[in-house]
Structure 1
Amino acid sequence: MSTSIEAFVPDSKLARAVTAFVRDTETELLFNHSSRVYQFGTIAGVHRGLSFDRELLYAGAMFHDVGLMANYSSANERFEVDGANAARDFLKAHGVPEADVYTVWTAIALHTTPGIPIHMHAVVALLTAGVEMDVLGLSYADYSEVEREAIVSAFPRAPDFKEGIIQAFYDGIRHKPDTTFGNVKADVIADKEPNFRRGNFCSLIRNSRWPGGDHAPGCGC
C-alpha cells in the first residue's frame, strides 16, 4: 500500500533534491509530517478536481516547516517566512521560474493563516489543506480509512505526534515570541509559558502615536 502512496511523489530531479535537502535538515518527526502533508494535500486536490503542479506542491509541503530549524530561523521573522525564504533560495538555485518560486513562497508563508489560502492558487490552498489535515484533523472524514492508513504506513505518525509537533513548534519559535502576534502560534507559546502575555491589537491602536482616544475602561492596556 505504501508503494502506491509513494508514487504520488513527483519523480523528478528537483523533487529528489528537495527530499534529500529536507531529510538532512529536519527531524524525523518533521520530515514524516511534511511528507504526509504533501500526500494529504495531493489527495485533497484530486477530491476537489483541481489541476495543480505536484512538483511545486511537493516543494512547498516539504519546506513548510524548515523555518523551525535553527539553521534557517531568523531573529525576527515569522517561522513561516523563514521557511518560505529557504524554499525560495533553494528553488531559485535549481532554476525554477520566478513565478513558480513565488507560488511556493506564498503557500508556505500563509500555511498557518486560516480562511485565506483556500481562495488562492491551488498549490497555496492544497498545502494548507494538507497541514490542517495532518495537524488538526479538520478534514479527517474527507479521507477514506484506506487513504489515511496508506499515508501513515508510508510516513509513520509517532504515537506522541500531537505533543511532539507542539513541542517542535515551541522549540522553533520560543526565541522570538513577538513574531506570533496575530497568528495561531501564539497559542503554542501560551501553552508552554503560562505567564506569556500576547500582543493585543486593540492596545496597539489605543497606544499608537496618533492623537486622541482615551483608554477604554477595562481594556487591559
Structure 2
Amino acid sequence: MADLVSERASEAKEITRRTALERGAGVAAVGAASALAAALSSSSAAAAVPGAKAQDTSSHSRGTTLPTVVAGVRIPDSQLTRAVTEFARKVSSESLFNHVMRTYLYGSLMFDRRGIRYDREFAFVAAVLHDLGLVKAYQTPNERFEVDGADAARNFLRGRHMPAERVEVVWDAIALHTNVGIASRKRPEIGMVSAGSGLDLTGNGLQQIPADALTEILAAFPRAGFTQDALDTILSLCRTKPMSVLMHPFAEVGRRHLSDFQVPTVEDLLLAAPFEE
C-alpha cells in the first residue's frame, strides 16, 4: 500500500494547478452528491457535440414540446432553449433528462421565493446541460465528470454561436455544480444549478418547495428509478476512471462498495508527501 500511495502521490503532483482546481480538491460533500444525477450508464450519446456517436436509447418522448409552466415556474421558449432541450433529450436517458429538468425547476422555485433575480434562459441552459459528463460519449479517461460535462456543453454552445463570455459562465455552472460552497458565491445562474441538483439528489432544501409544487414537478418529470441509477452511475465512474474521483466525495462510495478500489485518501497523499519535517 505504501508503494501505491507513493505512486499515486507522485501522479497527483504532476497535475497542473488549473487541472487540480478543475478536479475540485476540497469539494463539499453535500454539493458533490448532487452531481450523481440519475444517468443510466447505457445512455450513449448522439452526435450533437463533435466526436460523439449517435445512439438514441432513451425510452421517453423525443419530439414533444415542454410544458409552458410547471409549478408556477415558466420554462423559457426560444430558439436556443429548444435546441438545448432537443440535444439533452437526444443524448440522455429518461432518468437523466428528468433530473436536469427538475434541477431547473427546483432551483428556480428556491430563487424565485427568495426574490433573487437571474436570467431565466441562461439558468435553463446551464441546468439542462449540467450532467453531460454522465453520458458515456462525453467521458474522457481521467477528467472529473463535471469537467467532461462542462467541456461538452461548451462545444455544443459554441456551435450554437452563444457569446463566448456566456459560454464560460455555463462552463463554470457545470464544473462547479458539485461544490455548493463555491457555486453559491458565484452569479445566480451558477448557484441555481448547484442548489437545484443538490435538492433533487439529497433533498437538501426540500422544505423550500411547497407540497403542491413538488407533486406537480414529479408528475411532469418523474424520478423513475433515480436512486438506484445514481448509485450505479457513481460506482461506474469509480470502476472505469478511478483517478477522476481522487479527493472527490464519490471516492467514499467506491471504498464502501468496491473491494479493489485503491484510490488514495487525502491522508494517504499527505503522509506520502516527500518532505522532511
Task: Give the superposition deviation at 1:186.
Answer: 1.4
Tell me which moved more, 149-158 or 167-176: 167-176
Task: Give the superposition deviation at 1:119.
Answer: 1.2
Distance 1:9 1:101 in 2: 20
Name the structure with the higher helix share: 1
Distance 1:72 1:82 in 2: 6
Tell me which moved more, 81-90 or 169-178: 169-178
Task: Give the superposition deviation at 1:191.
Answer: 4.1
Distance 2:196 2:256 in 1: 24
Distance 1:3 1:59 in 2: 16
Which of 190, 194, 214 is equivalent to 2:255?
190
Distance 1:47 1:173 in 2: 37
1:67, 1:82 within 8 Å by CA — same for their partners in 2?
Answer: yes
Partner residue in 2 for 1:212: 276
Letter in 1 for 2:227: K
Partner residue in 1 for 2:181: 115
Distance 2:238 2:271 in 1: 28
Task: Give the superposition deviation at 1:168.
Answer: 2.5
TM (norm. structure 1) is 0.88
Number of residue-to-residue matches in the alignment: 210
Q: Greater relative contact order: 1 or 2 (C-alpha under 8 angstroms, separation 6 or more)?
A: 2
Letter in 2 for 1:122: P
Describe the superposition over 1:103-133 as per-residue Cα deviations: whole angstroms up to 9, x where unpaired.
1111111111232211111011110010111
TM (norm. structure 2) is 0.71
Which of 81, 84, 89 is equivalent to 1:23?
89
Query: For residues 162-173 of structure 1, what are the structure 2 equivalents within 5 Å?
Result: 162-172=227-237
1:56, 1:123 within 8 Å by CA — same for their partners in 2?
Answer: yes
Partner residue in 2 for 1:218: none
Distance 2:195 2:250 in 1: 17
Partner residue in 1 for 2:31: none
Are residues 98 and 119 of structure 1, via their aligned partners in 2, closer, same or farther at CA, if it must alter by over 3 Å?
same
Task: Give the superposition deviation at 1:180.
Answer: 0.8
Distance 1:16 1:22 in 2: 10
RMSD value over aligned CA atoms? 1.8
Task: Give the superposition deviation at 1:172.
Answer: 4.5
- Of all paired residues, the percent bearing the same amino acid is 35
Distance 1:172 1:198 in 2: 12
Task: Give the superposition deviation at 1:3.
Answer: 5.3
Structure 2: which 5+ residue stretches go unaligned? 1-66
Partner residue in 1 for 2:267: 202
Describe the superposition over 1:89-109 as per-residue Cα deviations: whole angstroms up to 9, x where unpaired.
111111111111111111111
Task: Give the superposition deviation at 1:178.
Answer: 1.1
Structure 1 residue matching 2:70: 3-state secondary structure: helix
1:38, 1:62 within 8 Å by CA — same for their partners in 2?
Answer: yes
